[in-house]
Amino acid sequence: MSLVKICGITEEQEVEYVNEAGADFMGMVMFFPKSKRNITVEKASSLIKILNPEITSVAVTVEPTLDQIREIEAAGIQMIQIHGDVSEELLQEIRIPVIKAFNVHDLSSYERYHQADIVKGYIFDAQTPGSGKTFNWSVLSDIPHDEKFALLAGGLNPDNVAEAFAATHVDGADTSSGVENDTGIGKDREKILRFVANVKKQ
Ligand SMILES: O=C(O)c1ccccc1NCC(=O)[C@H](O)[C@H](O)COP(=O)(O)O
């Protein structure tokens, strides 16, 4: 069965939607104040308390410092998703499993992360994460697959996710904007339920 990650969770009510839908991962954007979805470590700690223990919590970060990584680990968040570059030294310091996110317009570093055991999965994302924009999925056709899981992201929603699966060979899908309210503030219960159900059918 395919994996599904709902990203950019900011409130308790949204955690309940993720629990109800039965996603595999719940992402929380941290240490990135430019994002409208950014939350504090304290808020993330309170959200994971009500998360179904079968759902994996993920701290979503952009080039985090070691101090920030330590705060995430201490908060009990289970995985860290990293956008941007991570040095070899920093990677070796991380104690929780990593999901490495790639901007599909720059896959040059992809090979390097194959070697790192701490990296358990990949996310192939659009140029600007969380922008709700798709990309040409055919760029993924030459990517070599390994034992790590691969999630597709970037502008996915309940209506296009089946088409995205048909065009790629990924293990699952990740969304944020595609399950938000029409106002763009907060998540929509019905869209989350439909997104998860449509991914699980794949
Ligand atoms: O969501 C953000 O604002 C964000 C900011 C900085 C780094 C990552 C961010 N989100 C990462 C995600 O995993 C999103 O789910 C992914 O990029 C898909 O986003 P969307 O196109 O909105 O579905």
Instruction: Read off the pLDDT of each residue in 116-130 and give the average, rounded to a whole number.
Output: 92
Distance (Å) from CA 176 to ligand 1 centroid: 6
Distance (Å) from CA 8 to ligand 1 centroid: 7
Ligand 1, atom 14, lies closest to the CA of: 130
Condensed to tens digits (0 to 9), the pLDDT of residues 174-191 reads 999 999 998 878 999 999
DSSP characters over 57-125: EEEEEES--HHHHHHHHHTT--EEEEES---HHHHHH--S-EEEEEETT--TTHHHHHS-TTEEEEEEE
Condensed to tens digits (0 to 9), the pLDDT of residues 21-70 reads 999 999 999 999 999 999 999 999 999 999 999 999 999 999 999 999 99
| Neighbouring residues of 92: CB distance < 8 A, sequence distance ≥ 6 | 118
Ligand 1, atom 4, lies closest to the CA of: 130
Q: Where are the domains of the chain?
A: 3-200
Task: Answer whether residue 152 shows pLDDT above 80.
Answer: yes
CATH class given for the domain over 3-200: alpha beta
The interface predicted TM-score (ipTM) is: 0.96
